[in-house]
């Protein structure tokens, strides 16, 4: 009979794709792609590569048949965690100076639908990047996990005036541009043409291109056409030097690729695709499920803002910062969750300090993603970084930590603001969602240690009524 720690690891793997063994991850639902593949490879190779690389456009994933049963199974334990025990466990840890003067906390049991613990749980606070959970839920609700973002080339039915039309895919890479150039060159040669003019259309988005925080290595200008998130180095995650003109750079690269294929294109210029234009070429992003996973795992701000704008487009709102924020707010409100009305969304990435979300709402959004009735939201779970393994939690939690491999959580960090929100399987096999938000923190290191200790303590807790609280 497996001991408590072994059962926890088994339960965690079944529930949310825990990366503790290559075989376990390879067979876990709901999708064996994107984050699942990254975790399987990490578990097999024991390389600290972290994150997930989702560039390209693999075949659309389908829900695994076992996904519904996996999550239902974790609702089976009869003895629910007791809020009195959690108070003994968590309240002393929330007094840590690293969490500032008034942190907030919420813990929710997905089996019973009950909030097990709350401290200022309904207080709307700056969530930093944990707001990406709301962005992910909104985008998946609006568009579905199989949605792909197109980038196209169009021209008049009989002309050679090309327009490269951005659809808003920040992950468009050189391979995608080559695909477009190949198809465009073939189409022009079929028309007997070897020269063309080239415009690029950014009209999918509107409003200011720069995030209100200003030029920043954490985010490129938010435009509908860019290559590799406007990065000017070889990175694919984290801060990086960014192009000041990612759309123009992409169009110029496309023109050079056409020249390599025997098509001479003049200097590209901004423009609009003419009405009635014929599509010559198309490339698609990875499915939205993969994009959401990548956004959450790496805390990708460019993808977050893009997905918020895709949500705005789906809602018929202007695809600018204000329209995107309102579209996300509308989607979250439509879920009918308590505290949704008190939330305020100012961007999709969490870089803005004007965002306000409660710990309770974050736990309820995560709990909704565990609901078998909402399989479209499952990438919200599979994209959460795994403690000690992937993404922004790769370097947090040690090999001897009870939270390693069991805690899956979205991090949030701004100057003086630190947050952690995610899922954990406790010692009794209960799948819990949690959120801890802190403001006026003295520094990120102390705050992160305090947040990690809170989540780790949940993983160690056999918190049934009458059970002794775990030792400090």
Sign for the CA dihedral angle at 291, 296, 299, 304 comes to positive
Nearest Cα residue to 385 out of 39, 21, 13: 39
Q: How far apart are the first and last CA of the chain?
A: 27
Q: Are 290 and 33 in contact (CB under 8 A)?
A: yes
DSSP calls for 342-399 = G-B-S-SSS--TT-BEEHHHHHHHHHHHH-TT-GGGTHHHHTSPBTTTSGGGTTSS-T
CA atoms lying within 13 Å on the CB side of residue 402 = 21
Kind plus residue range of the DSSP H or E element containing 331: helix 321-334
Report the C-alpha gap between 57 and 51 in whole angstroms.
Answer: 18
Report the C-alpha gap between 436 and 455 in whole angstroms.
Answer: 9
Nearest Cα residue to 17 out of 381, 369, 413: 381
Report the C-alpha gap between 19 and 425 in whole angstroms.
Answer: 14
* Alpha carbon of residue 426 to chain centroid: 24
Report the C-alpha gap between 254 and 259 in whole angstroms.
Answer: 9
Classify residue 125 by its DSSP letter. Answer: E
Region of residue 50 (phi > 0: left; psi between -120 and 50: alpha; otherwise: beta): left
CA atoms lying within 13 Å on the CB side of residue 61 = 26
CA atoms lying within 13 Å on the CB side of residue 185 = 18
Nearest Cα residue to 114 out of 69, 90, 79: 79
Kind plus residue range of the DSSP H or E element containing 11: helix 4-16
Kind plus residue range of the DSSP H or E element containing 409: strand 407-414
**Cβ atoms within 10 A of the Cβ of 275, count?**
6
Q: Which residues are catalytic?
A: 129, 132, 299
> Residues, the chain, total?
472
The three-state secondary structure class of 251 is helix
């Amino acid at each position: 009979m497996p001991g408590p720690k072994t059962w926890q690891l088994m339960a965690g793997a079944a529930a949310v794709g825990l990366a503790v063994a290559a075989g376990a991850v390879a067979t876990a639902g709901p999708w064996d792609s994107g984050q699942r593949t990254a975790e399987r490879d990490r578990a097999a190779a024991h390389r600290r590569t972290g994150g997930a690389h989702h560039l390209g456009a693999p075949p659309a994933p389908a829900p695994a048949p076992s996904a519904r049963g996996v999550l239902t199974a974790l609702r089976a334990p009869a003895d629910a965690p007791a809020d009195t025990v959690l108070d003994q466990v968590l309240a002393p840890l929330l007094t840590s100076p690293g969490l500032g003067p008034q942190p907030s906390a919420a813990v929710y049991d997905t089996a019973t639908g009950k909030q097990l613990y709350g401290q200022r749980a309904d207080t709307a606070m700056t969530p930093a990047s944990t707001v990406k959970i709301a962005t992910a839920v909104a985008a998946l609700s609006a568009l579905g996990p199989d949605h792909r973002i197109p980038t196209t080339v169009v021209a008049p039915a009989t002309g050679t005036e090309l327009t490269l039309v951005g659809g808003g895919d920040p992950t468009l890479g050189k391979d995608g541009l080559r695909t477009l150039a190949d198809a465009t060159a073939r189409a022009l040669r079929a028309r007997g043409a070897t020269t063309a003019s080239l415009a690029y259309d950014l009209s999918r988005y509107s409003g200011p291109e720069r995030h209100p925080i200003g030029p920043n290595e954490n985010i490129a200008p938010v435009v509908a056409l860019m290559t590799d998130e406007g990065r000017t180095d070889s990175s694919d995650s984290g801060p990086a030097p960014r192009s000041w003109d990612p759309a123009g750079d992409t169009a110029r690269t496309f023109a050079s690729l056409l020249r390599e294929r025997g098509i001479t294109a003049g200097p590209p210029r901004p423009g609009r695709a003419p009405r009635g234009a014929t599509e010559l070429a198309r490339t698609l992003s990875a499915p939205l499920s993969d994009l959401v996973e990548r956004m959450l795992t790496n805390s990708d701000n460019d993808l977050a803002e893009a997905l918020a704008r895709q949500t705005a487009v789906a809602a018929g709102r202007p695809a600018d910062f204000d329209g995107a924020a309102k579209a996300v707010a509308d989607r979250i409100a439509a879920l009918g969750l308590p505290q949704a009305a008190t939330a305020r969304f100012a961007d999709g990435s969490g870089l803005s300090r004007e965002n306000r979300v409660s710990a309770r709402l974050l736990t309820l959004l995560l709990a909704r993603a565990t609901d078998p009735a909402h399989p479209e939201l499952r990438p919200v779970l599979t994209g959460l970084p795994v403690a000690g393994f992937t993404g922004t939690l790769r370097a947090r939690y040690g090999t001897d930590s009870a939270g390693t491999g069991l805690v899956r959580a979205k991090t949030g960090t701004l100057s003086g603001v630190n947050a952690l929100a995610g899922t954990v399987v406790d010692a009794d096999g209960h799948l819990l969602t949690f959120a801890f938000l802190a403001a006026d923190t003295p520094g990120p290191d102390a705050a992160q240690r305090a947040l990690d200790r809170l989540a780790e303590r949940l993983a160690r807790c056999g918190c049934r009524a009458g059970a002794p609280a775990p030792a400090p």
